[in-house]
Amino acid sequence: MIEQLNIEAQELRTVAYSIYQEGQNGLLAMFANDERPLNGAYAIYCAFATGREIQLVRARLAAGGPLEFPSITPNISAAAWYEREIHDLFGLTPAGHPDLRPLVLHENWPEQLYPLRKDYQTDLAVPTANRNYPMAGVEGEGVFEVPVGPIHAGIIEPGHFRFSQMGERILRLDAKMFFLHRGIEKAVEGRPLEQAFYQVERISGVCAVAHSLSYCHAVEKLANVEVPIRALYLRALAAELERLYNHVGDIGNLCAGMGFAVPIMAGARMKEAIMTVNEAFTGSRFLRGMIVPGGVRKDIADQTARQIRVMLDELEPDFAGLIRLLRPNDEFLERVNTTGVVPRQAALDLGVVGVGARASGVDTDMRRDYPYGCYPELKFTVPVYTSGDVAARLWVRVDEVYQTIGLIRQIVDGLPDGPLKAEIGPIPAYSSSFGWSESSQGSNLHWLMAGENNTIYRLFVRAAAYPNWPALTVAAPGNIIPDFPLVNKSYELSYACLDR
């Protein structure tokens, strides 16, 4: 399923453009690795979706020469953030990149200090810099700027949005994120694989299962381990419960963008019922502690299975009643129809995933396209809409709630017998693999290179939020600022997944 092509860094642009084929094969992820201790070079990796396969390009950049490589952003817009991150964390310059402002490391981080290099001293007391960070905007008579954040009215992580507007309409949005970057990828270097898992599981509360699955899939491929079938079903149950509570809660939260109180409260109430079941199933409302490398930590009790069935039987008509408040409501539809449009081509160019992609006519889902676990044994459809607006993202979620309810029933009713865990044996040092899953927000990718004695040499995490946040800068222009909360909540992206 994954084919790796090894090239020199100066060939990267030519090879990447050839594989990309004007957008036919989208960029899934791009990252770097300091392999100087292994072979005296850095490496830049690009992963492309080629049909139902993944083409991984590894571009070698000799450490003794100029630390730059040809940028692929001019033709592959999805690479823009990845290349800026590589520049920040490794000091490798993508020559020809149109915007090399800091991304992950802000203006208070000193220049010439690259934390993902292997010779970076983790106990270093980093001095505070005072560099300038220019926000991108629009200049001209009658144009003014409206800054929003990074501190917001709600209890959410920080993000700064700078609107340029003339009159009521937004002309441009520039977003500055990564205010709480935690350095998790650096923190797990050298850690035992099974110990590092606990930090990975906590990258983001709303995507705990998705991150756990992606990481475990990578470890299990490296260890050549076959996870027991019962564990695969229990993993899928946790993943679908995570999707369900997020989607139901997000639909209610979207209504908060216009002050529609009844759906807000209904969504919160139903989400609470699902999270109560989560705690009964795993011991955690966020479903932590269930999935482990090789399988699952605990089995499901018969009483819990019955509790899940009862919850679904009550949730389904309750949720249908909530949606009946929205579909025929002209005032509601006036706010969501044609608001925050991301055209299909823009979604493809930016590599948008998940609900955002499917609402813009991009038919994609990792559970179906790159099947894993027990999903090949389960029946479900992938809803796709084409208008690319707030309404389309809402209706995709609504349809997926019903699909998820169906999947959970299939899993609980068809749970096979068997053991819960396979042991992770010795993994060859410096072998590498991808793991993936489909979170409530879209595809979640982990690339792992093992070190010696089953430790981590390099972990790269690309959550669904990463390629989706830039879509907001496309969705916002042409709308009015009071509609931005609706646009933002229609994606409902995780800040924590960026701040890994």
Instruction: Give me the helix-helix angle, 229-256 and 208-223, nearest 10°.
Output: 150
What is the full per-residue pLDDT of the chain (500 aa) written as tens digits? 788 999 999 999 999 999 998 888 999 999 999 999 999 999 999 999 998 899 999 999 999 889 999 999 999 999 999 999 999 999 999 999 999 999 999 888 998 899 999 999 888 888 888 888 888 888 888 888 888 888 887 778 888 999 899 888 999 999 999 999 999 999 999 999 999 999 999 999 899 999 999 999 999 999 999 999 999 999 999 999 999 999 999 999 999 888 889 989 999 999 999 999 999 999 999 999 999 999 999 999 999 999 999 999 999 999 999 999 999 999 999 999 999 999 999 999 999 999 999 999 999 999 999 999 999 999 999 999 999 999 999 999 999 999 999 999 999 999 999 999 999 999 999 999 999 999 999 999 999 999 999 999 999 999 999 999 999 999 999 999 889 889 999 998 888 888 88
Helix (H, G, I), strand (E, B) or coil at 291: strand
Please tell me the number of Cα atoms within 13 Å of 117 on its side-chain side. Answer: 16
Q: Is 255 annotated as a binding residue?
A: no
Q: Is 8 annotated as a binding residue?
A: no
Can you list the alpha helix ranges (DSSP code H) found in 380-423? 390-413
| Burial label, 474 (beta-carbon count in 10 A; 0-12, 13-18, 19+) | buried
Which amino acid does the sequence have at 12? L
Let me know: does 69 contact 10? Beta carbons within 8 Å.
Answer: yes
141 Cβ contact list (under 8 Å, min separation 6): none
Q: Is 374 annotated as a binding residue?
A: no
Task: Give residue-wise pLDDT tens across range 186-206.
Answer: 999 999 999 999 999 999 989
Pairing of strands 93-95, 68-70: parallel
| Beta carbons within 10 angstroms of residue 444's beta carbon | 31
- Where do the domains of the chain lie, and which CATH numbers do they carry? 2-95 (3.30.460.80), 188-488 (1.10.645.10)
> Distance (Å, rounded) from C-alpha 298 to C-alpha 295?
9
